[in-house]
Amino acid sequence: MIVFSGMRPSGQLHIGNYLGALKNWVELQKKHQCVFGVVDYHAITTPFNPKAIKKDSMALVLDYLAAGIDPKKSIIIVQSHIPEHTELAWILSTLAPLGELERMTQFKDKAKQNKENVNAGLFCYPVLMAADILLYKADLVPVGEDQAQHVELTRTLARKFNNKFGKTFPEPKAQLLKFGARIMSLTDPNQKMSKTGDESIALIDSPEKIREKIKKAVTDSGKEVKYDEKNKPAISNLLTIYHLFSDKAIADIEKKYQGKGYAEFKKDLTEVIIRGLKPFQERRKKLEKNPRLTEKILAEGQKKAQKIAQETIKEVKTKMGLI
């Protein structure tokens, strides 16, 4: 099985990115051939700083490595280094129904957030994502819930291409985690945690910052620590975070805090997060001391990925009668 996933170099990674995606990638690479992208062409669909984006891409590679992505097992790439991504995106865009693109929740959300810059790239984002996935003929795409709709479109485009030009692509499936696929904001449990805004806990946050943020995190009415997404969305979100960082079952955590109230639960949760992030933070500090490393890993990744990408493009163009 082939796995593809990516992240945008659009700011500091947060525990939502980690618990919803990155942590799972580390497990998947043990069993499957994985390609993990730093998707910088996706990042430029929303405002970005030209002076910072390259540095942010390199920082994201360090994040991948610090989280446990092993470049000996997995291929790590920067999307803009491999022009076949955009080449395939153009081809797929000719198969993408406008109506489906208009229905994409992420497009609607991001268009609302960036009213001054609702560009065609933002609209076509899901087509580029489909190209990222299909270029490597991936079968599985581990993502958070916000990206599931895009994987569904990828399946549609694969099917359409296959029907029109002959079987070429597998129809990839999204892999969503039972817990963690949608970590919510600490200040508004109805919004997903996002890179922009200080309602998120960054993977590189200091213990002091984490303490402060959890202290400020909203809770629900009542005082019972109980998982109930509908009536207790804030506590359910905090319980999910506790569960994923500690590997303790939700029911056991509920039992532990029976009759104890939110304050004690939050105090312990803070320590669970600090402890959970410590190995990542220590590894990242070490990796930062070797700036050459990312260059080397990316050069190797590019070589391997480009070979696959060029083969796919050749097959696609041949089947379409272009070459």
Give the closest residue to 35 by CA, choosing from 295, 308, 288, 292: 308
CB-nearer residue toward ligand AQP: 149 or 257:
149
Give the closest residue to 4 by CA, choosing from 57, 65, 77, 62: 77
**Least distance in angstroms from the C-beta of 179 to ligand AQP:** 10
The DSSP secondary structure of 114-152, one letter per residue, reads: TGGG--HHHHHHHHHHHHHHHHTT-SEEE--GGGHHHHH
Q: Is 301 annotated as a binding residue?
A: no
CB-nearer residue toward ligand AQP: 109 or 224:
109
Q: Is 17 annotated as a binding residue?
A: yes
How far are the Cα atoms of 1, 159, 160, 318, 320 from residue 166, in angstroms, in the given order? 21, 10, 10, 11, 9
In sequence order, what E strands does the chain have?
2-7, 33-38, 75-78, 140-142, 173-175
**Least distance in angstroms from the C-beta of 165 to ligand AQP:** 29
DSSP 3-state of 202? strand
Give the closest residue to 39 by CA, choosing from 81, 92, 87: 81
Catalytic residues: 110, 192, 195
Name the site residues for ligand AQP (rule: CB under 6 A). 7-8, 10-11, 16-17, 20-21, 143-144, 146-147, 181-183, 192-196
Q: Is 87 annotated as a binding residue?
A: no
How far are the Cα atoms of 60, 61, 97, 101, 305 from residue 288, in angstroms, in the given order? 12, 11, 44, 39, 25
Q: Is 183 annotated as a binding residue?
A: yes
CB-nearer residue toward ligand AQP: 165 or 179:
179
**Least distance in angstroms from the C-beta of 224 to ligand AQP:** 25
CB-nearer residue toward ligand AQP: 39 or 309:
39
**Least distance in angstroms from the C-beta of 35 to ligand AQP:** 14
What does the alpha-carbon distance between residue 89 and residue 129 come to, in Å, rounded to a whole number?
Answer: 8
Q: Is 9 annotated as a binding residue?
A: yes
Binding residues for ATP: 8-10, 16-17, 144-146, 183
